[in-house]
Amino acid sequence: MLNDNPVIEVHNLTKTFHAPGKGGRTAALTDISFRVGPREVLGVVGKSGAGKTTLLRVLSLQMPPDSGTLNFGGTTIEDSTPRSVVRDVTRRTSTVFQGFSLLYNRSVLENVALPLKLRKMALTERTQKAREMLDFVGLKAKAEAYPITLSGGEAQRVAIARALVTDPQVLFLDEPTSALDAQTSREILDLLKKAQRNYSMAMILVAHHLDVVRYMCDRVLHLEDGAVRRMGPIRNSVDFRVDPIEALWGTPHDV
Ligand SMILES: Nc1ncnc2c1ncn2[C@@H]1O[C@H](COP(=O)(O)OP(=O)(O)OP(=O)(O)O)[C@@H](O)[C@H]1O
């Protein structure tokens, strides 16, 4: 997968935040470089505060880095990049946020169709596409329901359908199963696997539960204090003698 042209390539990303009492700024990301291949599933792990969500927000162009370069399938995004180019790149990605982020005054169908409405797709066409996507995630019967009436697993399926409806090349996922019980988590992960196969996209997945990373990911990136501590392919067997995060890798330091 990495031998193909990468869908995302980042070099020396740095991001700081204003932090009163900490000398003015705190570094959330420091000198981050890596590539993600087409159809690759990359896990991002690390302790609370390591910079995982910040990395997803920078990669999904929700916030700019302080320095470093971001390249999406050959298009480099930097300060001087025209907004139309940034918008085109943004449209090639989707995000499944922690906590679903559904609009509670819109029906399930309207939620899923919303990204297409924002792209000015005609009503009939976007409604049909949203219905197809609800069918794909197993929620055809809930099209007219409102999010308040859904279980956590159903709400996450709607969020996934909404993310997939635009055919993204890259799907960003921030803790997609953190609010769900074990059985529902497994169903959501299987749905994501099916989506990744059907739609041939790359995924970048932040997860606290290492079982989730082991089940889903081809490679894993370990962030520590905002820097890449280690990155490489996941190993199948677990060596319980070592740190659980360290046990995810087979070969050392394959960045
Ligand atoms: N908007 C912000 N303003 C100031 N500091 C921030 C902001 N967002 C994140 N930070 C700081 O940046 C660092 C990284 O935060 P981030 O949320 O990316 O970590 P994380 O690994 O996702 O943590 P968690 O697993 O708890 O969600 C932390 O020190 C955090 O306090």
Q: Kindly report the pTM of this predicted structure.
A: 0.89
Tell me the C-alpha distance between 20 and 102, whole Å. 33
pLDDT at 42 over 90: yes
Å from CA of 51 to ligand 1 middle: 6
Which of the two residues, 206 and 238, has the higher pLDDT score?
Answer: 206
Tell me the C-alpha distance between 85 and 9, whole Å. 17
Predicted complex ipTM: 0.97
Q: Are strands 202-206 and 170-174 parallel, antiparallel or unpaired?
A: parallel
> In this predicted model, what pLDDT tens digit does every residue of 148-167 receive, in sequence order?
999 999 999 999 999 999 99
Which of the two residues, 168 and 180, has the higher pLDDT score?
Answer: 168
Å from CA of 21 to ligand 1 middle: 16
> In this predicted model, what pLDDT tens digit does every residue of 53-93 receive, in sequence order?
999 999 999 999 999 999 998 899 988 888 999 999 999 99
Tell me the C-alpha distance between 137 and 141, whole Å. 11
Task: For tokens 């529902």, name the residue.
Answer: 184
pLDDT of residue 201: 94
Q: Return the exposure string of 212-230: e unless at least 16 CB atoms fall within 10 Å of the residue's CB, then b.
A: bbbbbbbbbbbbeebbbeb
Å from CA of 4 to ligand 1 middle: 32
Confidence of residue 19 (pLDDT cuts 50, 70, 90): confident
Beta-carbon count within 10 A of 113 CB: 27
For ligand 1, atom 27, name the residue with the nearest CA: 48
Tell me the C-alpha distance between 167 and 198, whole Å. 10
Q: Which has the minimum average pLDDT: 19-33, 176-190, 210-224, 234-248?
A: 234-248
Domain boundaries, the chain: 8-207
For ligand 1, atom 31, name the residue with the nearest CA: 49
DSSP state of 185: H
Beta-carbon count within 10 A of 136 CB: 19
pLDDT of residue 28: 94
Of ligand 1's listed atoms, the one at least distance from the Cα of 53 is 22
Homologous superfamily of 8-207: P-loop containing nucleotide triphosphate hydrolases (3.40.50.300)
Query: Pocket of ligand 1, candidates 15, 45, 53: which has the most ligand atoms within 8 Å of its Cβ, to mutate?
Result: 53
Query: Pocket of ligand 1, candidates 29, 54, 172, 221: which has the most ligand atoms within 8 Å of its Cβ, to mutate?
Result: 54
Of ligand 1's listed atoms, the one at least distance from the Cα of 206 is 22
Which of the two residues, 206 and 25, has the higher pLDDT score?
Answer: 206
For ligand 1, atom 8, name the residue with the nearest CA: 54
* Amino acid residing at 224: E
pLDDT of residue 5: 85
Task: For tokens 């003698």, name the residue.
Answer: 241
Query: Pocket of ligand 1, candidates 13, 52, 229: which has the most ligand atoms within 8 Å of its Cβ, to mutate?
Result: 52
pLDDT at 252 over 60: no
Å from CA of 91 to ligand 1 middle: 25
Whether the CB-CB separation of 91 and 72 falls below 8 Å is answered with no
Confidence of residue 254 (pLDDT cuts 50, 70, 90): very low
